[in-house]
Amino acid sequence: EFYLQNIAEKNTQLNAFLKVFDQEALAKADEIDQKIKTGNAGKLAGMVIGIKDLLCYKDHTSTAGSKILGGFESQFNATAVQRVIDADAIIIGSQNCDEFGMGSTNENSAYGACLNAVGTNRVAGGSSGGSAVAVQADMCLASLGTDTGGSVRMPAGFCGLVGLKPTYTRVSRWGLIAYASSFDCIGPITKSVEDAAILLEIIAGKDEQDSTVSRLEVPQYSAFDTTHKTLKIGYLKEAVESAGLQPEVREATWAKLEALKAAGHVVEAVEFPLIKYFLPTYYILTTAEASSNLSRFDGVKYGHRSNQATDLMSMYKKSRAEGFGKEVKRRIMLGTFVLSASYYDAYYTKAQKVRRLIKDYTDQLLSEYDFLVCPTTPTTAYKIGEKTSDPIQMYLGDLFTVQANVVGLPAISIPNGVDNDGMPIGFQIMGGAFQEKALLSFAKSLY
Ligand code: GLN
């Protein structure tokens, strides 16, 4: 009732939820109350969760923030969704996001932008903007978002929250509407590191529906390792010293690094000359994968079908032309271009090779350092509309977050103060593959 009340008061303005399942949520709450009385409630009993509209929820609409999936109802649950339901969480609604997860501000949603609750002329961050603002404005306790290049960490950073992107393959992608399959990850957005850990231990682990999921045992992430170890922490020199950093973000990051030193950790600058290839590699490979993944939206199987069509070909074309937004079309065209016969080697193959170089170099650094840290984003949340006319400017904001997805490693964003306008600043920590327990324990010691 508390969360529904807040939704009633704030959602019209903030636009975080696309759908609210109020009656269902209340009925489920009653059911859980009974279970608690009889002592057989699940681990998440009563945890009120919102889910990004990119996750399939049986018999509920899942639009991916797109007109092309307007009115589409899933026939099954995403594995992560099923698992939180099985653990007795309450799903209160589906959340606004950039169309198919393509964006950094939530302004690319077919259902309107979601606004940051701190200073509502500011963006929420994207693409899981609705998921972040819903937690920020107490419209739910936690959210499940998705992170292909920062979409959990970036809005978490912009909204003063914790956002965790797990290791690639740690969480099943079954029921996650695909953007770029070799990058996509489901992750929690929460107010505390502990809630992120609790959610991860529920949603992670092997799944018959997704053969790429790791079969590694899921540790109890929320049993934090509290033994104080002296850690070796590398900060990305090019990131922390970049001229493009907003001054307050730089100061907050330095202050955090100083605090780490004062706590006895070894903090060193590491050079990453390949940083200039992070964004080109990411945008070439993700658009390639997106152009292929999104070919399934053809007006035949699900979602929007144009009523202007005269034959099969025109149905495909018109349904897609009417259904997809501008940014999605841009990416389909870019992806199709880099996969085309004459450019495949020059762009796609090349980017795959660079991806390998970035991965090898990152792994090498993580064999020397426990964690790599940097600000989550170069600036705090932009003003609404500030970057919408220039996609390159928009892409530049992803510079620090895409690396974790390019290399498949876990990374977390935790709050690190605010700027002069009171807008939250994020601090990002990246760890080794499947080292979420160490990552979360370290994050917990800081926040
Ligand atoms: N902003 C990035 C993009 O537009 C990341 C999106 C995401 O993680 N889904 O691709």
Q: Does residue 350 have an active-site annotation?
A: no
Low-confidence residues in the chain, pLDDT < 50? none
Tell me whether residue 369 is in a domain.
no
Tell me whether residue 446 is in a domain.
no
Tell me whether residue 97 is in a domain.
yes
Q: Which of 85, 167, 161 is nearest to 129 (CA)?
A: 161
Ligand 1 is surrounded, with C-beta below 6 A, by 101-104, 126-127, 147-151, 179, 286, 398
* Domain span including residue 75: 2-203
Tell me whether residue 125 is in a domain.
yes
* Catalytic residue chosen out of the listed positions 74, 104, 127, 222: 127
What domain count does the chain have?
Answer: 1
Q: Give strand pairing partners of 162.
A: 190
CATH number at residue 130: 3.90.1300.10
Q: Give yes or no for a contact between 340 and 284, defined as CB atoms under 8 angstroms apart.
A: no
| pLDDT in the model for residue 379 | 97
| pLDDT in the model for residue 397 | 95
Helix axes 436-446, 193-203, angle to 10 degrees: 160
Which residue has its alpha carbon closest to ligand 1 atom 10? 102
The Cα–Cα gap between 381 and 248 comes to 13
| pLDDT in the model for residue 404 | 98
| pLDDT in the model for residue 301 | 86
Amino acid at 317: K
Q: Kindly tell me the sign of the dihedral angle through the C-alpha atoms of 305, 311, 312, 316.
A: negative
How far apart are the CA of 114 and the centre of ligand 1, in A?
16
Q: How many CB atoms lie within 10 A of CB 150?
A: 32
Tell me whether strands 232-236 and 371-375 are parallel, antiparallel or unpaired: parallel
Q: How many CB atoms lie within 10 A of CB 43?
A: 15
**Rounded to 5 degrees, what are φ and ψ at 34?**
-65, -45
Tell me whether residue 390 is in a domain.
no
Our CA dihedral for 250, 357, 102, 195, rounded to 10 degrees, sits at -60
Tell me whether residue 357 is in a domain.
no
The Cα–Cα gap between 8 and 23 comes to 13
In a 13 Å sphere around the CA of 98, the CA atoms on its Cβ side amount to 30
Tell me whether residue 16 is in a domain.
yes
Tell me whether residue 288 is in a domain.
no
